[in-house]
Amino acid sequence: MSKTEEMAIPSQVLTRKDLALTSQHISFAGFSSMEDMLIVEQPLLRVPLDEMRTQLKTQQRLWERDYLYCSNVLQGKLAKADQENAVDTLKESAQIMVARLQQLRQKLSELGSKADGLLKDTQLRYEYLHALQDMQVESQAFEDWCTIRLQRMVADYMLRRGAFSSAEKLAATQNITQLVDFPVFAQIRKVELSLVPDEHSTESPSCAIALAWCSENKITLRKSQSTLDFELRLQEFIELVRDRDPSVLKQAALYARKHLSPYLQETSDSEEQKNEASDQTHPRAAHTNTQETSRKAWRALGLLASGPGSWQYKDLYDAARWKSLRDAFRSIALQVYDLPASPLIHIALSAGLSSLKTHSCYSTKAKDFTPTVLNAISSQTSSMFLADSMEPDDPSRSDDRHPDCPICHTRGLGTLSREVPYSHQGNSRLICRITGKEMDDTNPPMCLPNGRVYSEEVRCYLLTSRPSIS
């Protein structure tokens, strides 16, 4: 993970002015068009749509299972209709099927209610993104849209850091609850706390909830060539052999025979296994994962003969494995739910700060530079205008840094921007340091007698307000 991805956002660093500048400038910085902004916003629609797809598959699976059960029961009973007590048996079977179908109806009703909620969330998110197409960058509507986007990013950052109550209060206050993926992060948090409980919790680490999550998402995990399920099974085996009681060791041996034996393959696969792997989407990755899990499974069997005190298996008995499992689960869960690995605010800040960052933002020697050609006349020119226009102790006015540039605030976003590369500008733009406006054909740059360059607008102001300067 790069430094930019690990970049934290300390609350004491960002001021209210910094956040305003972030919302106004960085929301569109680094993007050449509105379509480019929508690329970053893809997870906003993907998450509820993927959840709806998962629920539809669950409904289909439940329906097919119960339909097949009832169909087989009816066929079996009808085949034995000529036997004695067939009517009583058929009535009993019918009652069982009715009860089962009623349970199916209740489950489908619950899933349908969840699907309706997801559909409403998807509609709201679509309208939120679609509104961007009709906005102008300079309009108040776009600024409000960017403000909501910033609040969403802050809430996403809080959820990833575990500050659920703060994120819920922020979302409720700003009325953006349906734009934030609370259910997804709540599920991720639940599994993480089961693997690494809170320091104030009395519960012991457990893989049960994580294994249940893997079972629900086994198709996606299989496609991504994830070994999370194996690592969780291995950890359960390690916890069994940690207790050296003979009866528990017997349970550990049975557990290994049931759950680890499928991974006990020879390290050098046969040609038939290689041919099977070549038919997969990622044959080399699949082959590598198979070898690695096989090696770990064979090595884990040695734990039956070696206790926690043995140096050969110190890494397997290490309690830090729980934190590694938590981190591995977080990584694969974000992939399953189509969420970026880094917080959204990190991605936006990395792109926005990089697009705004220039060498002049960190320049402190520009104030000592005077063109050689103008050395003779610079000393003869009054500087009363500059003296009146800035405070002596204002650091933003003592060099090339701009007062409205978020990168130039050395105690705010300027600190974070040190982690990102400088912006590549194909064409130079001249900005008047007095008015903050761009100098172009309609407002060209003008050189004053003191050697400093300002816009035509500033020159006209000097001629009208301070005739003595001319």
Q: Is residue 445 part of a domain?
A: yes
**Angle at CA of residue 60, ends 57 and 64, nearest 5°:** 140
Residues 132, 93 share a domain = yes
Among the listed residues 60, 56, 67, 59, the one whose alpha carbon sits nearest the alpha carbon of residue 101: 67
Q: Is residue 235 part of a domain?
A: yes
Among the listed residues 75, 100, 104, 102, the one whose alpha carbon sits nearest the alpha carbon of residue 90: 75
Task: Tell which of 139, 164, 180 closes a domain.
Answer: 180
pLDDT at residue 6, rounded to an integer: 37
Structure tokens at 278: 């070549």
Strand pairing report for 438-439 and 453-455: unpaired
Name the least confident of 299-308, 360-369, 432-441: 360-369
Question: Are 14 and 112 within 8 A, CB to CB?
Answer: no
Residues 385, 306 share a domain = no
Residues 65, 167 share a domain = yes
Instruction: Give the CB-side neighbour count of residue 432, counting CA atoms within 13 A.
Output: 19
Position 289 pLDDT exceeds 90: no
Q: Is residue 441 part of a domain?
A: yes
Rounded to an integer, what distance in angstroms lies between the CA atom of residue 342 and that of residue 233?
A: 28
Q: Is residue 419 part of a domain?
A: no
Domain range enclosing 242: 208-336
DSSP state of 422: P
Among the listed residues 142, 160, 138, the one whose alpha carbon sits nearest the alpha carbon of residue 150: 142
pLDDT at residue 424, rounded to an integer: 78
The per-residue pLDDT for range 163-172, each reduced to its tens digit, is 999 999 999 9
Residues 62, 112 share a domain = yes
Q: Is residue 415 part of a domain?
A: no
Q: What residues have CB less than 8 Å from 14, skipping those under 6 apart? A: 22, 412, 413
Residues 47, 174 share a domain = yes
Residues 214, 169 share a domain = no
Residue 364 CA to chain centroid, in angstroms? 36
Q: Is residue 30 part of a domain?
A: yes
Task: Tell which of 132, 163, 180 closes a domain.
Answer: 180
pLDDT at residue 427, rounded to an integer: 77
Among the listed residues 285, 265, 151, the one whose alpha carbon sits nearest the alpha carbon of residue 222: 285
Residues 316, 240 share a domain = yes
Residues 272, 131 share a domain = no
Helix (H) / strand (E) element for 167: namely: helix 164-174
Residues 321, 220 share a domain = yes
Residues 373, 286 share a domain = no
Q: What residues have CB less than 8 Å from 145, skipping those under 6 apart? A: 128, 131, 132, 135
Q: Is residue 200 part of a domain?
A: no
Across the range 89-108, mean pLDDT stands at 86
Structure tokens at 390: 């800035």
Number of domains forming the structure of the chain: 3
Position 280 pLDDT exceeds 70: no
**Angle at CA of residue 388, ends 384 and 389, nearest 5°:** 120
Tell me what percent of the chain is helix, strand and coil, each rounded to the nearest 5.
65, 0, 30
Structure tokens at 307: 């206790």
The per-residue pLDDT for range 15-69, each reduced to its tens digit, is 444 444 444 444 444 454 567 777 778 889 888 998 888 888 888 888 888 888 8
Among the listed residues 175, 179, 177, the one whose alpha carbon sits nearest the alpha carbon of residue 126: 179
Claim: this prediction has a pTM higher than 0.75: no
Classify residue 280 as left (phi > 0), alpha (psi -120 to 50) or beta: beta
Residues 117, 28 share a domain = yes
Q: Is residue 219 part of a domain?
A: yes
Give me the helices (H) in 243-374, please. 246-255, 271-278, 283-300, 314-317, 321-336, 344-356
Tell me what the pLDDT averaged over the chain comes to: 78
Residues 377, 310 share a domain = no
Classify residue 338 as left (phi > 0), alpha (psi -120 to 50) or beta: left
Helix (H) / strand (E) element for 431: namely: strand 430-431
